[in-house]
Amino acid sequence: MKVLVSAASKYGATGEIGQAVADVLAGKGLQVTVVTPDQVGPIEEFDAVVLGSAVYMGQWMKPARELAERSAAVLAARPVWLFSSGPVGEPAKPAGNPVDVTKILQATKARDHRIFTGKLVKKHLSFPDRAMASAIRAAEGDFRNWAQIRDWATGIADTLLS
């Protein structure tokens, strides 16, 4: 079974989550291709898709949104899982649901959407992103829960292989 894993990542942390998901899927025997959303070709060659994005100002990054929009019909015809990455700190900020992916969930008929905490290294941020992180008092550090990410990916693999 061929699975596409694609994640839009501004500073690399969300891409690392996508790679961790891909590693679990491949470890379970699935044929996995990892490509950024702006490099994805025809979705038809894949049997399933895991699509993710970093979240900025409550939205997925444009390349991931555009992939979901332009491929909605094809995505809706196969198993799709979505993930978002962005809240940081303990407790995570922003609190609550930091992203509205309702349209993407409906268009792709995704089976699940998971929000994972992210990573923030302020010195790597652009000035506007650094200002926003300061405004919401976002904590610096790597808050990704790798066990949670691997468990989610294992659930996807188990579903695809059953």
Q: Does a cis peptide bond (omega within 30 degrees of 0) precede residue 91?
A: yes
Q: What is the pLDDT of residue 19?
A: 98
**pLDDT tens-place string over residues 71-123:** 999 999 999 999 999 877 676 666 666 677 899 999 999 999 999 988 877 77
> Rounded to the nearest 10 degrees, how much is the dihedral formed by the CA atoms of 34, 83, 1, 155?
130
Q: Are 129 and 57 in contact (CB under 8 A)?
A: no
User: Residue 5 class from Cβ within 10 Å (0-12 exposed, 13-18 middle, 19+ buried)?
Assistant: buried
- For residues 118 and 139, give the distance between their C-alpha atoms in angstroms, rounded to a whole number: 11
What's the pTM value of the predicted model, to 2 decimals?
0.91
* pLDDT (0 to 100) of residue 30: 98
* Residue that is written with structure tokens 């468990």 in the block: 151
Nearest in space to 11 (alpha carbons), one of 85, 69, 83: 85
Q: Please give the Cα distance from 94 to 86 (Å, whole number).
A: 8
